[in-house]
DNA sequence: TTGAAAGCGCTAACAA
DNA sequence: TTGTTAGCGCTTTCAA
């Protein structure tokens, strides 16, 4: 499958000799730096191709000396999922410092487009090599991202994307597909039982929630049309409010057989379910794996948690920023974030 | 969350100065090499702690010069899952060579303990830095693994473990949990319908299949005891044989409502199902994501594929071997292989 | 437009 | 038991 490659690996010097130029010239060609005659470029390129030469990353990293700085722009507040991402970045401390990388956490109100845009604009002069941002999809945010990109900073969007911007990469899941997955699971687990389906979200104005709702409705309409979907209620991701709303729905509709929580506030929803004594009859699906959802899965109140792996997202963001900064290729397959279906027996 | 760490990062030299010793002594302490007075060790350790010093991996890698060689011992034959792992290793070619790493594929009959043990023994003298092996759990294999470990080679087991050996790491899923997951899904998706459950495996003498069966039966007995489990049949992971066996079962039992394929041969099983015209009525669950299972999921014949991500396993094996070889800590959380539940809407 | 040469922060051989 | 020193393969001035 792989040739053992007995000869000791080639170096820049070997390429230089073969192309009849100096080290510095090969380096220039390798990094598309100006000031090399087209003909020379060609000769060097040929030598590189011919040997399928790969510069030694460790040597490159050492020689350039300068440490790299990344910034993570994250929401203020106690969103457990975001806190997990931060925690995983924290766990990478040793890994990061052994590579002379630093990550700075910048907390801001990512839900206010002008505040978020301002935070990003501030980073434009801050000579960051890369920025990861939990981005609201809004024209001023898009503009701020594009400015950052133009200033030479690598930008990845995290969890929530701005597809119309020129960000280099998006680290997160396809939320429409996540909503579809939720819909398919509710429908399949409800099975033959007739009844109604309740759905609660944080707010419809967040792109990820809106997309999940869209995907969910799509599947319900096309495949489980015998089930009636109740009008969506908005719990603002808060436990108390979610609990009240769901209590109300449960009181009004004794024939609810399925319940989908699009955002946070799962603890409140679960409380309403158990206080009504209907946690065993109603198929309950929510997002994200937290201490709370884990407990609810184990005790059977929650049937499925749909999640994205926060550790994977944190590490993927750092790796992608690093690869972009080094102009290395990205292992796309590796950095893709999957939609995890978690049930009691496959909890990580 | 992280101090910006303005000062330029410390180097070995700084530590040496602080501890009042030379570079070489710090290096000795850092790598637990002998020949340093206990008192000196203590002084150096203190300086390292005090500054939470992390040696620069790039510099270390460069200075040590030597390229590292890893071997992957994989089964001969056309097992699609194993072929995928090999393919993902192939995709890493650039990444590997930029780090002066080489991976050699060694194909052997991993199902014959003496053949596998002999293959491993051969590697003992081959100055490999690390070996990843799809390991059969057998005393002679265990002995061969232990010999490799004793000779200084880092060893990880891949997909299939030998827990009683002294291998440094296992890269793969918990197969009992995978079987439990399959059981829970069959039970939940069958729902209220009464009927029988069929189960087919490659062979019960493979540890991973045996464990999955164990987990499956556990859940079925404890939670879905109204469903009758038919006696297990063995398809030897072959399509034709599996098809015949399942056709036979379907003919004999018109009341089968669920079907679990523990191993390969999913194509044959699916063919039997569709030819009986019962692919829509019967809940069908199998393992691994291949071109075939993907197609079956999309067309609705297969309801769930339980899988482990072969790309992740391939990369995790390489990363873990590299970290072990460098005596770097492993990011355990990152290298853990999850049990993926794949349905039509969350296909990657 | 090109080349020479001084490091980057470690490791390892050798000397003391 | 400890220290000195010559690289490892690049990047980056600076000079030509």
pLDDT per residue over A299-327, tens digit each?
Answer: 999 999 999 999 999 999 999 999 999 88
- Mean pLDDT computed over every residue of chain A: 93
- Is pLDDT of B1 > 50? no
The sign of the torsion formed by the CA atoms of B145, B148, B150, B155 equals negative
At A298, which helix (H) or strand (E)?
helix A291-299
Q: Stretch A193-218: mean pLDDT, rounded?
A: 92
What is the residue whose two structure tokens read 């959802």? Answer: A293
Backbone φ and ψ of B75, nearest 5°: -70, 140
pLDDT at A21: 93
Q: Is the pLDDT of residue A1 over 50?
A: no
- Rounded to whole angstroms, the distance from the CA of residue B24 to the C1' of nucleotide D2 is 8
Helix count and strand count (H, E) for chain A: 15, 12
Q: Enumerate the residues of chain B whose CB falls inside 8 A of the CB of residue A191.
A: 189, 191-193
Confidence check: pLDDT of B5 > 60 = no
Report the chain A residue with the minimal C-alpha distance to residue B175: A346
B56: nearest CB among A8, A98, A189? A98
- ∠ CA B48-B10-A131, nearest 5°, is 120
CA B12 to C1' D16, in angstroms, rounded, equals 37
Quick one: residue B157, left, alpha or beta (phi over 0 = left, psi -120 to 50 = alpha)?
A: beta
- For B69, left (φ over 0), alpha (ψ -120 to 50), or beta? beta
Residue A129 near residue A154 (C-beta atoms within 8 A): yes
For A262-309, how does the pLDDT look when each residue is reduced to its tens digit (9 = 90+)?
A: 998 999 999 999 999 999 999 999 999 999 999 999 999 999 999 999
- In this complex, the nucleotide whose C1' atom is nearest to the CA atom of residue A25 is C2
For A345, the closest of B89, B99, B177 (CB atoms) is: B177
Q: How far apart are CA A4 and CA B164, in angstroms?
A: 31
By Cβ distance, the residue of A102, A312, A345 closest to B184 is A345
Nearest-angstrom CA–CA distance, B91 and B295: 24
pLDDT computed for residue B66 by the predictor = 83
Taking 3-state DSSP, the helix, strand and coil percentages for chain A, each rounded to the nearest 5, stand at 50, 15, 35
Give nearest nucleotide to A23 (CA–C1').
Answer: C3
d(CA B328, CA B68): 15
Task: Using pLDDT thresholds of 50, 70 and 90, give the confidence band for residue A7.
Answer: low
- Contact residues, chain B, for A326 at CB < 8 Å: none
- d(CA B265, C1' D16) / Å: 71
- Whose tokens are 């069929």? That residue is B198
A47 touches strand C (CB under 7 A): no
Among A54, A67, A312, beta carbon nearest to B9: A67
User: Chain D: nucleotides under 7 Å from a protein CB?
Assistant: 1-5, 7-13
**A42 is written with which tokens?**
């060609």
Give tens-digit pLDDT for A152-164.
999 999 999 999 9
In B151-206, which residue ranges form alpha helices assigned H by DSSP?
175-190
Q: How many residues does chain B have?
A: 348
Q: What chain A residue is nearest to B70 in terms of C-alpha separation? A: A4
Instruction: Provide, in whole angstroms, the distance separating residue A14's CA from nucleotide C16's C1'.
Output: 38
**What is the helix (H) or strand (E) element at residue B259, kind and residue range?**
strand B256-261
Backbone angles phi, psi at B154, to 5 degrees: -80, 135
- Alpha-carbon gap, residue A208 to A182, rounded angstroms: 14
What is the pLDDT, as a whole number, of residue B7?
59
Strand ranges in A76-147 using DSSP code E only, listed in sequence order: 101-108, 130-133
Protein-contacted positions of strand C (CB under 7 Å): 1-14
| Residue A35: nearest nucleotide (C-alpha to C1') | C1
Give yes or no for residue A4 having a pLDDT over 50: no
Q: Name the β-bridge partners of B108.
A: B75
Name residue, tokens 């460098």. B326
Interior/surface letters B245-261, b for 16+ CB within 10 angstroms, e for the rest: bbbebbeeeeebbbbbb
Chain A CB contacts of B55 under 8 Å are 98
Query: For all residues of chain B together, what is the average pLDDT?
Result: 93
Tell me which chain B residues have a C-beta less than 8 angstroms from the C-beta of A188. Answer: 189, 303
Measure the CA–CA gap between B21 and B40, rounded to whole angstroms.
8
pLDDT in tens, B46-60: 999 999 999 999 999
Q: What is the pTM of this model?
A: 0.90
* Closest-CA distance of chain B to residue A253, Å: 22
As a rounded value in angstroms, the CA-to-C1' distance for B12 and C14 is 20
Please, which contacts does B7-14 make with residues 24 or more away whose CB atoms are closer than 8 Å? B8/A67, B9/A67, B9/A97, B9/A100, B9/B56, B10/B51, B10/B53, B11/B56, B12/B55, B14/B51, B14/B53
Question: What would you report as the CA-atom Rg of chain B, rounded to the nearest whole angstrom?
Answer: 25
- Structural tokens at position A68: 């790299």
CB B97 within 8 A of CB A329: no
**CB–CB contact B93 A180 (8 Å):** no
- Whether any strand D atom is under 7 angstroms from the Cβ of B62: the reply reads yes
| Amino acid A259: pLDDT | 98
- Residues in contact with B335: Cβ distance below 8 Å, sequence separation at least 6, in sequence order: B169, B171, B316, B319, B320
Task: Tell me the pairing of strands B340-342 and B304-307.
Answer: antiparallel
Q: Which domains does chain A have, with CATH numbers?
A: 12-62 (1.10.260.40), 66-173+309-346 (3.40.50.2300), 175-307 (3.40.50.2300)
Query: Is A333 within 8 Å of B345 when comparing Cβ atoms?
Result: no
- The answer to whether the CB atoms of A188 and B189 lie below 8 A apart is yes
* Least confident interval from A27-36, A183-192, A252-261: A27-36
Q: Which residue of chain B is at minimal alpha-carbon distance from A128? A: B4
Contact between A307 and A348 (Cβ < 8 Å): no
pLDDT surpasses 80 at A3: no
User: Given pLDDT bands bounded at 50, 70 and 90, which one contains residue B110?
Assistant: confident
Q: Shortest CA distance to A307 belongs to which of B22, B104, B341? A: B341
Joined together, the tokens standing for residue B339 give 């049990």
- Does residue A261 sit in helix, strand or coil? strand
With the CA atoms of B98, B99, B102 and B103 taken in that order, what torsion angle do they form, in degrees rounded to the nearest 10?
A: -100
**Beta partners for A259?**
A198, A284
pLDDT above 90 covers a percentage of chain B that reads 82
CB < 8 Å to A302, chain B: none
Question: A275 in helix, strand or coil?
Answer: helix
Contact residues, chain B, for A345 at CB < 8 Å: 177, 180-181, 183-184, 215, 219
Is A333 close to B95, i.e. CB distance below 8 A? Answer: no
Confidence check: pLDDT of B144 > 50: yes
Output phi, psi for A241, to 5 deg: -60, -40
- Closest residue (Cα, C1') to D3: B22
A:B CB pairs within 8 Å: 165
Residue B325 Cβ < 7 Å to strand C: no
Question: The tokens of A327 are what?
Answer: 């102009």
d(Cα A175, Cα A216) in Å, to the nearest integer?
Answer: 10
Q: Give the residue from B126, B134, B41, B21 showing the smallest Cα distance to B86.
A: B134
């Amino acid at each position: 499958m792989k040739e053992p490659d007995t000869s000791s690996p080639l170096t820049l010097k070997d390429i230089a000799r073969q192309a009849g130029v100096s080290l510095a010239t090969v380096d220039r060609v390798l990094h598309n730096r100006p000031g090399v005659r087209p003909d020379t470029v060609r000769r060097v390129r040929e030598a590189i191709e011919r040997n399928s030469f790969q510069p030694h990353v460790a040597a490159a990293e050492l020689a350039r000396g300068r440490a790299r700085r990344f910034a993570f722009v994250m929401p203020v507040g106690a969103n457990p999922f975001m806190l997990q991402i931060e925690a995983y970045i924290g766990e990478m401390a040793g890994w990061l410092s052994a590579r002379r990388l630093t990550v700075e956490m910048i907390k801001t109100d990512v839900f206010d487009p002008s505040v978020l845009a301002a935070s990003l604009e501030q980073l434009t002069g801050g000579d960051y090599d890369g920025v990861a941002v939990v981005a609201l999809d809004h024209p001023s945010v898009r503009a701020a991202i594009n400015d950052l990109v133009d200033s030479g900073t690598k930008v990845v969007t995290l969890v929530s994307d701005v597809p119309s911007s020129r960000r280099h990469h998006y680290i997160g899941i396809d939320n429409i597909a996540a909503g579809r997955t939720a819909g398919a699971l509710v429908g399949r687990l409800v099975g033959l039982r007739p009844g109604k389906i309740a759905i609660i979200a944080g707010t419809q104005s967040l792109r990820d929630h809106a997309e999940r709702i869209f995907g969910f409705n799509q599947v319900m309409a096309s495949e489980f049309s015998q089930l009636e979907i109740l009008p969506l209620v908005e719990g603002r991701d808060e436990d108390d409010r979610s609990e009240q709303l769901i209590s109300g729905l449960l009181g009004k509709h004794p024939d609810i057989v399925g319940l989908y929580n699009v955002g946070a506030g799962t603890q409140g929803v679960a409380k309403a379910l158990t206080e009504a004594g209907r946690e065993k009859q109603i198929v309950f699906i929510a997002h994200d794996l937290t201490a709370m959802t884990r407990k609810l899965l184990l005790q059977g109140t929650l049937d499925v948690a749909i999640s994205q792996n926060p550790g994977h997202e944190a590490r993927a963001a750092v790796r992608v920023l690093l690869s972009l900064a080094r102009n290395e290729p990205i292992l796309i397959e590796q950095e893709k974030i999957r939609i995890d279906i978690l049930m009691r027996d496959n909890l990580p």
